[in-house]
Structure formats: C-alpha cells, structure tokens
Chain A
Amino acid sequence: MDITHGLVGAPIIFALATIWAGSRWGTIVANTLNLITIAMTGIAFFLIYRGILPASVDAVSLVFVGLTTMTVTAVLAVATQNTPNYSRFAALVFLTQLGLNLAFLQNSALWFYIGWEIALIPSLLLIFGWGGLGRKAAGIKFLIYTVAGSLGMLASILYLYSHTGTTDWALLSITLLPSSVQLIAFLGFFVAFAVKIPVFPFHNWQADTYSESNLPTAMLLSAVFSKLGLYGLYRLVTSIAPDATTTVAPFIITLCVIGSIYAAILAFSQSNLKRVVAFSSMSHLNLAAAGFFADRLLGLPGALLQSIAHGGVAIGLWWGIGILKNRFGHTRLHELPGGITSENRWFTIAFFMITLAAMGVPLTSGFPGELLLIQSITHHGIGIGILAAVPMILGAVYMLRAYQSVMLGDPKPSKVTIQLNRLDYVMGTAIVSFILLIGIYPQLIFRLFTLR
C-alpha cells in the first residue's frame, strides 16, 4: 500500500459517502472529502520533489493526477452553484476521478484502457443527466466516437499482448518490437487517442458535447478528459512504438497542424462562447499532440507542459463562462450585453489574464509549452514550423474578439451588474496564480518530467 492506492481507491468511497449524504449534506461532504484527495496529492508531490518516488509510479503520471485533483476540486466548487441533485453529480464526478486516476497511475496498457472506460460511463451520465436540450444527441455522439476509438485501442492491446505477453508500459519500453508490429499497434492506439484529444478528422463530437453539457461537466471534460489522450500518446510514443512514431511523424504532425489551424478558424466563426472555447481547446491540444511526434528533447516536455497548462486555462475559461451563464442565462456572443468592465473590474481583469494565457502570451502558462512545441515542430521543416505558429496568432484574434464583445464597450442596457461571491474570488485568484506560476517558473513542472 502506498499513496497511489489511496488516490485510486478513495474516490469510490467518496462517491458512496456523497450519495449516502443526500441532498442536504452532499455539498459539504463532497467538498470536505475532496480535501483528503488534495492532501494525498500534495503528499505525493512533496515526495517527488524530495526525490522519493513510489517505485511503481513515475513523475509524469503524478503530474496528470495532480491536474485531475485540481480539476475535480474546481468542478466540485463551481458546481455548488446552480447544480440540481448536487450529491449525485458529485458522486459521478468522483467516479470519473476514479477512472482517471486508475488510468494515470497503473502502469499498464490494459489498466489504462480499463480506467479510460470506467471514466467514460459516469461522464456520459453527467452529460445525460445535467446537460442542455440537445444532451441526448450530443451524449450519444460522444459515446459512439469514444467507444469506437477505444475499441481500436483494445484491439492494439490484444495484439501487443499476443506478441509480447505483457501490457506493462515499462516492460513494453524495453521490449524490442519489430517495426511492422509497432505500426499496427500504433494505429489502434492512435485512433483512440485522436478521438479523445481530439485530433483533426476525429473532432466532430467535441464542440457539441462541450456546449450541450453543463459548465462543470464541460470543465471536467476539457480540462482532464482530453488529457487522457495526451497521456496515452506520451506512453505510446515512449514505450510502445518509438520506431513507428518516427515513421509516421511527418504525417501526423501535418495532420495536427492542419487541425490546429482549422480549429482556430472555426473558433473565430463561432457565435457561442462555449463553442469558441471548445474549438480553442482543440486548437491548443492538436499542437500539443504534434509535439509528441516532433522530437524527444523539446517536443515531449513541451507537449506535457502544454497539457498541464491547458488544464488550468480550461478551468479558468469555463469558470468565467459559468459566471456569465449564471448572470445572463445564455452564452451567445452577440446577445451578451458587453460593458462588464465598467461594472466589475476584478472579474474582467481575472478573465483577461486567463484570455492571455489562452493566447499564449509570455509570462502566462500558455507560453513556454507553445514555444517549445513550435520550436520542435520547426525541426521537421521551416514551412510546417511557420504554419504551427499560425494558430497562436489566430488564437489572439478569436480570444480577443470574444473578450471584446463580452467585456468591453458600452453595455446595451445602460447598466449591467455582475455580482461575485466569495467562492468566485477564491477560484479566480487561484486560477490566475496557477497561470502566472507556470508562466513565470515553468521549471516547477519541467523538473518533474526530467526526474524519471
């Protein structure tokens, strides 16, 4: 028994306790119990920084678990406002966390698959149970894409297992597989991860799912769910198929860069703030996916850092949208009154910081990862490197455009009021500090990636 077992086992107990607590005590119980997870994650991080690693886990896994803990905390906190049946919601969030932690912490492909699928069902229930009007169609679309993709992964796992007799990441990484085997295994895994991230031709489910689910669910999906795919890519590239990776790298990098630009253009033309964020998320993560294939020295840590940084930014963006949604009841860009800046300066500043991070401005968390990614992609040719920088420019365009129409200008009714409560102040401060911390001192996370 060590701390990782606690991180995997605790959520199921928390879920049961929250259900049992019912509607009256659910809020308090869920958030209090989550403190235990935070404490365990904190201890785990403390141990790594002291150089004491649990034998079975490497630092990359723990970083992703840290992201999961952070997101679950944010989701539980945000959901305390305006979520009917809070205790059931929180229980499902805990069950999702169980699957995610299982996938991140167990060092084997089969357990990764199991955790992945365990996380799928509660998140599907979150969409079905709390989503908007089109939730049923969106949920089923999400389901079909993800399950169809993950069956490709299952096929690859079976294929690998029948060739090597193991599905352990570490053992697979020291097994020299023939490159034909690697290539077949690679394709199955890649389809699954490409759906989850989502990489360009597999992205059709994402915007619908995000905009039809309620805000905490969207936060959960975009901040950690997509990271399952990126974590999987990391394992795929480093342990399973290093040779196949170099073979297919040019093709996949091209795909990802196209996807990134395409998503940025789509984000520009959306009229719903939720869909802007959904496509901006896709744009960033496509670039991160390209990083895994670009090179080992810069691209890999860059992509990992970008995954973590994007988690923080996604939480922040959905938090801001949540406040707007609570106040105005919708998120349609052209019907929001605008002019919030004259009313609530603190909120507009916090949201601006988050917007800057989403644009990848230096000293925010978006920058270091993106810089490394573009630099590493440039190694595959200057043309594709330049193209890889385009989403960053487009990002500034669509983020600032959205920011402008929501926050600036004269409010259409002469006065808009936005009232924040204490929770919002805490959340906003925490998110902005995270963004600045990673932006100013990215070494904090980099150190962990090189620790292995």
Chain B
Amino acid sequence: MISITLLSIVGIIIMLLHSPQWTRTGRWVGVLGTIAALFLIRFDNTILVPTIEVTRLGNLWAGLILGLLLLILLLIPNRNALHPVKNDHLALLIFATVGALILTRFDHIVTLILGLEILSIPLYVLAAQSHTSRSYEASLKYFILGAFSSAVLIFGFALWYRSTGMLMIPGPIVTDMVGQCGIVLILGAMLFKVGLVPFHYWVPDVYEGTPTGFTAYMASIPKVAAFAALFRVAQLLPSDTWISIATILGSISIIWGSLGAFRQSKLKRLLAYSSIAQAGFWILMLNSNQFSVYFGFAYATASILLLWILDIVEANTRSHSFTGLIHQNRILGAIAIVALVSLTGIPPFAGFYAKYSSLYATMDRGSSIAVGIALIGSAMGAYYYLRHIAQIITHPETPYRIEAPIVGILSASVAVGVLVIFGLAPLF
C-alpha cells in the first residue's frame, strides 16, 4: 500500500503546482515520485488495508505499470506539442495510475471497482483535452460506454453476491443460473476495459480523438492494468470455460483487429486497431503469469514510443503519418522502425518473445487452430506495420527538420535498449 499512497501524494503535490512556472518542477516531482514508488513496491503490505493482496506477481504488474508511467512522464511533456501538457494533466495521469496499481492488488470486489473508477475517470477528462468536437466526442463516448460498463460490472457482482454470499476474489465457482448471469456481466465489463472483440468499438474513435500524448498513456497503462484485473477475475470461471472463451475471443480479436488495421493510413487508427489484435494475443495467455506481464511490457513500450513520436511529428508537420521521418530526424526514425518491428513480433526485440510465448501457450494446450489464426494475423500484422517502415524511409516532399527534446530522445533510446535486452534475455 505504501507505493500507492506515495503516488497519490505525488499526484496531489503536482496538482497543487498548477501555475505555469512550475511546469518543469511538476514533471520532475512526478519522475522522482514514480522512481521512489518503484522502489517501494517491495515493501507493500496489507496492514492498513485488508482488501488488497500482495503477491509477487502483483508486484511484477505494479512494477511494469510504474515503469511505463516513468517512461511516459519522461517522454510526453513536450513543450512544442499541439496540446501542451500541463501539470493538471500530469496529476490526472498519476491519479489514473493509482487506480491501475490498485487493479494489480485487489482481492475484494470493492477494491476492484474502486480501482477501475479511479483509473477511468481521469481518462474521460484527458480524452477531451484537444478541445475539438472530435475530442469531445471521444470523451463522451468513452465516458458513456465506460460508465455503462461499470454499471454492468457492479450489477454482475450484485448477482454473483446473491448467489455466493461472498465479496472476495478469487471466490467459489458458481453453478446456479443467477450467479452465472452475474459472471457473464462481469466478464463483459472487463472485456470492454481491455478492448477485445466484441467490446472494441470504442477503441479507434477514442484513440483518435484523444490528444496523442495522452493516447500513449491510454494505449499502455490502462490496458496493462485491465489485463491484470481480467486475468484475476477470470478465476471466477471454470477453467475450461475460460479457456474456450479466451481462445475464441482472442482469435476473433486478432483477425478483426488486423482486418481493421489493414487499410488505415492514419497511424493512430492503425495503432488502435492493432491494439485490438494485440489484446487478442494477450488474452491467449489465459493466466496472469510472468509471460503475460512480459507481453504487456513489450506491447506497451512499443506503443508508447510510437505515439510519442507521432505526437512530435504532428506538432511539427501537422501530418498524421511518418512519411519521410528518417530524413527529418534520424534518431526518431530509427526508434520508430524499432518499435514497429517489435510490434510486428520480429526478433531480436521483445515483441518476438511476447508473441512467441503467447503462441506457445496456445499450442501447448492443443488449440492449434487458434495458433493458425494467430499466425495469419501476424502475417497481416507484418504487412500493416512494416508498410509504415516503407513510409518512414521514403523521401518527403519538403525536407523539414523535426526537433525532439533531448530528455525524450535519451529515455526513448534507453527504452529501445531495454526492448532489445529483454527481447534476447529469455532466449538464453
């Protein structure tokens, strides 16, 4: 609980530093606070709050979330961005992360709902920050659907409670009709949060309407936290039911997301659809284990890097794709190529091992049809990701230098190094 408390305090401090001259200070307070929280994860305990559970795996998820937050805090405050990041926004990001951390720790229904709400409400606000009609639309859509899904979740838990008389997770497996209805509602709401088919319709519009810097957040931390929670909630289902649900929905998501991504020329919509496909790969892992954490790391890091670069490109050239990026800024171009290659799942980057372990888990439990579908999805993924590499390399019509903040470049390079090292390490 210490890390969660610390992060909340950091968020409040940043919120208080809201006047413009404190912008830089706020950012560095956030960075230091995140690093401190990262170190304090190990000392988390349940002394004051009995409704959480501290496990090693939970620590791993929390460490991933804090690491991603650190990366985002180092990257996105870009002064030249279309939508400058103020300290209020940083505070919202940090509050949302507090919710995400709670989602890695809950063992009680109330904590789960609390975590989901703390995570979601700042995102509804952040989605509207472009102050364009599209952005308001995204925010409203996200808000209405999110609130609806929360209601469904709570109703599901009410039914489940009626059937079992328990509020703790993991609980007993229900067999009566009412309890099973409850489980279905709970699962639907959780699948909405991770953006899997058939609960994915909000993803592309919300991604597109949100300011790109915040999309980087939205594509990473909420998704990681939602998956941590989903895998935990899935323990309420009989395991074979869960296996078939996850395999079917995973395969459909991979195909659906890939088909949607196929014809997107806007990078943001492409990433939105591809995040549906990636979620399909992710859910094929079925359980919360170190491999699913690893998948989260590989997917989220690459997405953050790409959206950060897109943010810079949009601010400089008003273009929505990476055409000619390598001629405008070598390092950004190289980082974008690495991130795209990693998302495709090509070694030596982390994306390969993530995809490999997901496919291996699927193959190991004998669902070779799902492996086949996932491989077809990967092949389509290779097309739509790597097509953008071709765009990065083409010569732009107007050669134009793109400047990037040095802190961002350094942190992104470190992130690329981590992608390579973590990509190769599990193979030895």
Contact = CB atoms under 8 A, between A and B. Distances in A.
Contact of B371 (A111, A125, A155): A155
Given A114-B348, A154-B356, A158-B360, A128 B382 contact: no
A155 B393 CA distance: 31
A117 B352 contact: yes
A136 B379 contact: no
Interface stretch (A140-148, A241-249, A332-340, A437-445): A140-148
A242 to B, nearest CB: 23
A401 to B, nearest CB: 36
Contacts of A159: 363, 368
Given A148-B379, A159-B363, A162-B360, A120 B346 contact: yes
Interface bin, chain B: 20 to 34
B198 interface: no
B387 A140 contact: yes
B341 interface: yes
Contacts of A124: 386, 389
A152 B394 contact: no
Given A125-B389, A159-B363, A154 B427 contact: no
A136 B390 contact: yes
B28 interface: no
A111 B394 CA distance: 32
Of the candidates A110, A117, A152, A161, the one having the most CB atoms from chain B within 10 angstroms of its own CB is: A117
Interface string B362-401: 0110001001100110110011001101100110000000
A123 B427 CA distance: 24
A129 interface: yes
A151 interface: yes
A147 B375 contact: no
A118 interface: yes
B326 to A, nearest CB: 9
Interface residues of A, number: 27
Nearest to A146: B382
Nearest to B363: A158
B379 to A, nearest CB: 4
Interface string A135-177: 0100110011001100110110011011000000000000000
A363 B379 CA distance: 45
Contacts of B405: none
Contact of A140 (B347, B372, B379, B383): B383
Nearest to B368: A159
B359 interface: yes
Contacts of A110: 427
Given A128-B393, A143-B386, A154 B347 contact: no
Contact of A143 (B364, B378, B383): B383
A117 B382 CA distance: 12
A331 B378 CA distance: 37
A143 B375 contact: no
A170 B394 CA distance: 44
A148 to B, nearest CB: 4
Contacts of B372: 155
A151 B379 contact: yes
A154 B359 contact: yes
Contact of B375 (A128, A129, A155, A161): A155
B371 A140 contact: no
A121 interface: yes
A11 to B, nearest CB: 13
B403 to A, nearest CB: 21
B426 to A, nearest CB: 11
B321 to A, nearest CB: 14
A140 B375 contact: no
Contacts of B394: 128, 136
A158 B359 CA distance: 8
A118 B347 contact: yes
A154 B372 CA distance: 10
Interface in A71-123: 110-111, 113-114, 117-118, 120-121
A220 B389 CA distance: 21
A330 to B, nearest CB: 22
A117 B379 contact: no
A118 B363 contact: no
B390 A151 contact: no
A144 B387 CA distance: 10
Nearest to A147: B382
Contacts of A140: 383, 386-387, 390
B360 A161 contact: yes
Nearest to A116: B347
B308 to A, nearest CB: 21
A121 B346 contact: yes
Nearest to B340: A121
Contact of B383 (A118, A125, A144): A144
A193 to B, nearest CB: 16
B389 A128 contact: yes
Given A110-B427, A121-B341, A151-B378, A162 B383 contact: no
Given A121-B346, A147-B379, A128 B427 contact: no
Contacts of A120: 346
B393 A129 contact: yes
A143 B341 CA distance: 12
Contacts of B363: 155, 158-159, 161-162
Contacts of A148: 379, 382
A372 to B, nearest CB: 35
Contacts of B341: 121
A117 to B, nearest CB: 5
B375 A154 contact: yes
A268 B38 CA distance: 67
Contacts of B376: 151
Interface in B237-275: none
Contacts of A155: 359, 363, 371-372, 375
Nearest to A159: B363
Nearest to B378: A151
B267 to A, nearest CB: 17
Contacts of A143: 382-383, 386
Contacts of A144: 379, 382-383
Nearest to B365: A162
Contacts of A154: 356, 359, 375
A113 B356 CA distance: 11
Contacts of A152: 375
Nearest to B391: A136
A414 to B, nearest CB: 40
Interface in B329-344: 337, 341
Nearest to B424: A114
B281 to A, nearest CB: 13
Nearest to A148: B379
A128 B372 CA distance: 30
Of the candidates B347, B360, B394, the one having the most CB atoms from chain A within 10 angstroms of its own CB is: B347
A315 to B, nearest CB: 26
A114 B427 contact: yes
Contacts of B360: 158, 161-162
A121 B342 CA distance: 11
* Chain A to chain B: the 8 pairs with minimum beta-carbon distance, closest first: A147-B382, A114-B347, A151-B375, A148-B379, A158-B363, A128-B393, A117-B346, A162-B363
Given A114-B347, A128-B389, A154-B359, 14 more contacts: A110-B427, A114-B352, A118-B346, A124-B386, A140-B386, A143-B383, A144-B383, A151-B378, A155-B363, A155-B372, A158-B359, A158-B371, A161-B363, A162-B360
Interface of A: 110-111, 113-114, 117-118, 120-121, 124-125, 128-129, 136, 139-140, 143-144, 147-148, 151-152, 154-155, 158-159, 161-162
26 contacts: A110-B427, A113-B347, A114-B348, A117-B352, A118-B348, A120-B346, A121-B337, A121-B346, A124-B386, A125-B393, A128-B390, A128-B394, A139-B390, A140-B387, A144-B382, A144-B383, A147-B379, A148-B379, A151-B375, A154-B356, A154-B359, A154-B375, A158-B359, A158-B363, A161-B360, A162-B364
